[in-house]
Chains A and B, each alone.
Chain A
Amino acid sequence: MATDIGALDTFPKLLLHHAAVRGARPAIREKDRGIWQTWSWTQFADEVRAIACGLAQQGLGRGDHMALVGDNRPRIYAAMCAAQCLGAVPVPLYQDAVAAEMAFPIQNAEIVHAVGEDQEQVDKLLEILPQCPTLKHIYYDDPRGLRHYAQPQLASYDRLREIGVEAAKRDPGFLEREIEKGSGDDPAAMFFTSGTTATPKGVVLTHHALIDRARAAAEMEGLTDRDVVIAYLPPAWIGQNIFSYAQPFATGYCICCPESAETLMTDMREIGPSYYFAPPRVLEALLTQVSIRMEDAGRLKRTMYRHFMDVARRVGGAILDGKPVGMAQRLHYALGDLLVYGPLRNVLGMSRVRVAYTAGEAIGPDLFKFYRSIGINLKQLYGSTETSVFVCVQPNGQVKADTVGPAVRGVELKFTPQRELLIRSPGLFREYYKNPQATEQAKDADGWFHTGDAGYLDADGHLKIIDRVKDVGKLDDGTLFAPKYLENKLKFFPYIKEAVAFGHARDHVCAFINIDMEAVGNWAEKRKLAYTGYVDLASRKEVRDLITQCVEQVNADLAADPELAGSQIHRFLLLHKELDADDGELTRTRKVRRGYIAERYESLVEALYAGKESVHVEAQVRYEDGRTGQISADLSICDARSFPPAAARKAA
């Protein structure tokens, strides 16, 4: 190859490389106006050139920061690359965050230029303008509804593009010169961690870090420019950005943006991605959909489905891993593939998935086994924003339900006495922006990053994550209490949407449980149970009995594992409302904010441990359109049978 791979150390250089080598190949597709609009690598490079020159005219210089707020759209990724061409640092923000949450990042990074997708994002930026004096230019992509906006800061993306095209004509070599100035160590992007605790921190990642990790994982999976990825998660989350920005630049494959959230399922089935990433909650939601729809099927189809699912549960995973399986079993599975698993993968849009990752939080073992058993090569991945994602990845053939796989090439792992995991890798972040104390705290002198996760290496060298260090607790009698592990087992049942376990420094474990409105509602309708809304459904006796059965089944599984037998759930209550990010109970990526919940529902936790039968709760709730209302309900507390730990079990 003309330029050796080493010299391509920044994303803009990679862009020019792809435009030269595979110019006609599709770089990015977007379902818009009913069909898939396609940008080839040359077209994408031209778009980036126009926007970069435009931004340069508008005064965006090396080292400046530029905010990007919006859904997965080709123009958002073009703007991101354009900023990098000028040596500026793109800062993607969550598009469903409220205005207040955007103020801190913009002040912190002194952002002058921002690209917003549509009127909704522009309104948020205009709302926080008073607190962000630095913000001078806001470019909007979709002009809908913005015709009468006369604010001076506003300019349309198309106008920016026109300025860029004229500028590029005047000085054709300008962009190449700017790109040459860039080097691997320059910051490529800044991601604000959602942070389950204090204010968010700006993680600065260099070109080198992102590209190196992207290449390491690509080589491991043999990704080529023929692969296809669907980009549907928020671009501001490193989990999505690595797959829809860093890796396509590293390998040249094509990313596809769905038309809208409602059409995601059909768009995914149309595109048929070969390389797929989904956090556990998305996989859970899919499984719940599958079980609800199968429940409504005719008796014949249901029995067929259950029969072949048992076959899959027994042999599916083994066949996928290439382990030896009897011929009769293999034939039986093949029949199942024709009748159930093939069509199921087809309807879920996953027929062409070669590699599927899940990460972001620990996944329930049964949920994980379900996808592998129907032939989807789902593998676990561990990483975080600070480590450019790829730390541990399960290679094909060594996939286990409860580990996250061995370290990826170039990553070193070390453990502190409290079992905290330390990591050293080329993908480490440079610093928390303008937060030296946090940087020291996280990265010590000789480059080890403190992940804050507790875990250990198992016999095959696979990393096994227990929980967040500060969450891993001990019951009074010292037995290990890993709340996330319990919560994931509970969440495997379609009827349970979210769960929060308590037990640290207590004598037994209790839990809050959120029922899944759709699944339980469907279950109730089948039994002719009338209910008015979420609160009424959650308070019904029959629903409590249903959830008690689920909890008792979890307790039975826990009893089988000597280490966890002590942390069986004794008492639980069904929350009167769904935990929601808008009320601060979850992070933007739907992770439980344990500390906040314990503090806010203090009275409920005490009632659980005081052995009370029921507790009254008054809570303020924020509705979708911003109005707040009062919910009051009497939550009755239920007891769940726990099982004696199994006698001497052979080592797990």
Chain B
Amino acid sequence: MFYREVGQYKTSYAADQALLPILQDRIGIAVILLIAFVAVPLTASNFALDSVLIPILVLSLAATGLNLLTGYTGLLSLGTGGFMGVGAFACYKLTTIFPNVNIIFLILCSGFFAAAIGTVFGLPSLRIKGFYLAVATLAAQFFLSWCFIRIPWLYNYNISASIEVPTKTLFGLAVTGPTASSTTRYLLVLSIVTVLVLMAANLMRGRIGRTWMAVRDMDLAAELIGIRLYQTKLLAFAVSSFYCGVAGAMMAFLWLGNAESESFNINQSFLILFMVIIGGLGSLLGSFLGAALIWGLPIVLRHAPAYLGLHIRSATVDQSTFVILGVLIIFFLIVEPHGLARLWQIGKQKLRVWPFPY
């Protein structure tokens, strides 16, 4: 209905291969970015920023990382939580060793540590596939959780086995630690997430993205075409873990302000896996939609009774959130196995050929 594609012709390959070839899509994204970068910081309350928007952005980045591995390369991973933990602890160690180095740079560097660990745990991916590979990543998850408790060096021998994030400043403005305001942290998280997701989008429209998808769809045929399966899979593990590592570092430094092994355990991996599945495997937009739903829904449910004037014990509300979440997952898998992103895509396609059905 809103699409007017008449007159949008491409006279060069660069234009034809642009990320958003259709004008209306470009307008849409521009509006969204405008709202995110300008409208939200001005209007959103600290509560909205701290417990809704920043978490969703951080988890979307982790979901994007997992999507690169499971959605685009077809390698099921249950180790996301662990890789995020590596990012968080790596960042913490880096700030303690190089206190005056720019914090953003360190957050990104911690991603490389996670990437290294991710690649190591990706090594079995050549010989084994499917559920069996899930076990390898599960081993990584439990092993890393164990390390976060058993290696005191990681948390500077702090007796509570958890890390407190020191106050870091950027151009004189407090960015991490208790004094940093939610808006600055929100803007920082938003810019890092935007850049990294843009990089992921670029990857997916280039050679590397295609080799990943080829390995996902028919790895035997891909090999016969000259794609080195091993390197491709390991690269997927590395890039995916990089994203999870950065997400983990941001979770500790820019969201929670502290972190311990519990926040990067197996449940975190399952949570992110749900986001990717419900959001839509193999779609960057899906990671965002999934994160918003799986994180946003419990908050909404928790506040719904109060808002509607029913007073239910908070424990029952929490428990019923579990049930509703479970029912929702089943419902979505039945209605649209390819997740919210596919629903969005179908809707967009209907608008493009409106009023026709196809």
Contacts and interface: CB of A to CB of B under 8 A. Distances in A.
Nearest to A271: B9
A-side interface mostly: helix
Contacts of B171: none
A352 B7 contact: yes
Interface centre among A37, A272, A338, A349, by most chain B C-beta atoms within 10 angstroms, is: A272
A296 interface: yes
B356 A270 contact: no
A34 interface: yes
Interface in B1-34: 1, 3-13, 15-16
A587 interface: no
**Size bracket, chain A contacts:** 20 to 34
A358 B2 CA distance: 29
Nearest to B15: A35
A297 B357 contact: yes
A342 B354 CA distance: 10
A38 B11 contact: yes
Contact of B356 (A37, A347, A352): A347
A229 to B, nearest CB: 14
B352 to A, nearest CB: 8
Nearest to B351: A343
Interface in A322-381: 338-340, 342-347, 349-352
Contacts of B354: 343, 347
B356 A294 contact: yes
Nearest to A308: B355
Given A35-B12, A293-B358, A347 B353 contact: yes
B5 A294 contact: no
A304 B1 CA distance: 13
Nearest to A33: B13
A293 B357 contact: yes
B357 A346 contact: no
B-side interface mostly: loop
A270 B9 CA distance: 5
Contacts of B4: 342, 346, 351
A92 to B, nearest CB: 26
Contact of B7 (A29, A298, A343, A351): A351
A35 B356 contact: no
A305 B4 CA distance: 19
Interface residues of B, number: 20
A13 interface: no
A506 B5 CA distance: 53
A104 interface: no
Nearest to A295: B357
Nearest to B354: A343
B10 to A, nearest CB: 5
A296 B358 CA distance: 9
A600 interface: no
A652 B41 CA distance: 69
A345 B355 CA distance: 10
A269 interface: yes
A36 interface: yes
A540 interface: no
Contacts of A296: 357-358
A30 to B, nearest CB: 11
B355 A36 contact: no
A342 B5 CA distance: 11
Interface in A9-28: none
Interface centre among A36, A346, A349, by most chain B C-beta atoms within 10 angstroms, is: A346
Contact of B10 (A36, A343, A347): A36
A290 B1 CA distance: 16
Nearest to B16: A35
A314 interface: no
A583 B64 CA distance: 61
A509 to B, nearest CB: 37
A281 to B, nearest CB: 22
B11 A269 contact: no
Given A293-B357, A296-B358, A347-B356, A270 B8 contact: yes
A298 B350 CA distance: 12
B355 A269 contact: no
A290 B353 CA distance: 12
A346 B10 contact: no
Given A293-B357, A301-B355, A305-B355, A343 B1 contact: yes
A31 B16 CA distance: 12
Interface in B147-179: none
Contact of B355 (A35, A270, A344): A344
Contacts of A272: 6-9
Interface string A271-315: 110000000000000000010011011100100110000000000
A346 B6 contact: yes
Given A339-B355, A347-B353, A36 B11 contact: yes
B14 to A, nearest CB: 10
Interface centre among B355, B356, B358, by most chain A C-beta atoms within 10 angstroms, is: B355
B358 A269 contact: no
B1 A269 contact: no
Contacts of A37: 11
A537 to B, nearest CB: 23
A34 B358 contact: no
A308 to B, nearest CB: 9
A131 B356 CA distance: 52
Interface in B312-343: none
A346 B16 CA distance: 20
A344 B355 CA distance: 7
Nearest to B4: A346
Contacts of A347: 353-354, 356
Contacts of B9: 29, 31, 36, 270-272
B318 to A, nearest CB: 40
A298 B357 contact: yes
A468 to B, nearest CB: 38
A34 B15 CA distance: 11
Nearest to A338: B1
Contacts of B16: 34-35
Contacts of B357: 293, 296-298, 301
Nearest to B14: A35
Contact of A340 (B7, B355, B358): B355
Interface in A197-236: none
A34 B11 CA distance: 9
Those 9 A-B pairs whose CB atoms lie nearest each other, nearest first = A272-B7, A272-B6, A270-B9, A351-B6, A297-B357, A343-B354, A293-B356, A36-B11, A36-B9
Given A294-B355, A343-B3, A351-B6, 10 more contacts: A38-B11, A270-B7, A272-B8, A272-B9, A294-B356, A297-B356, A297-B357, A340-B355, A344-B355, A352-B7
23 contacts: A29-B9, A34-B16, A36-B9, A36-B10, A37-B11, A270-B6, A270-B8, A271-B7, A271-B9, A272-B6, A272-B7, A290-B356, A293-B357, A297-B355, A298-B357, A301-B357, A338-B1, A343-B3, A343-B354, A347-B353, A349-B6, A352-B6, A352-B7
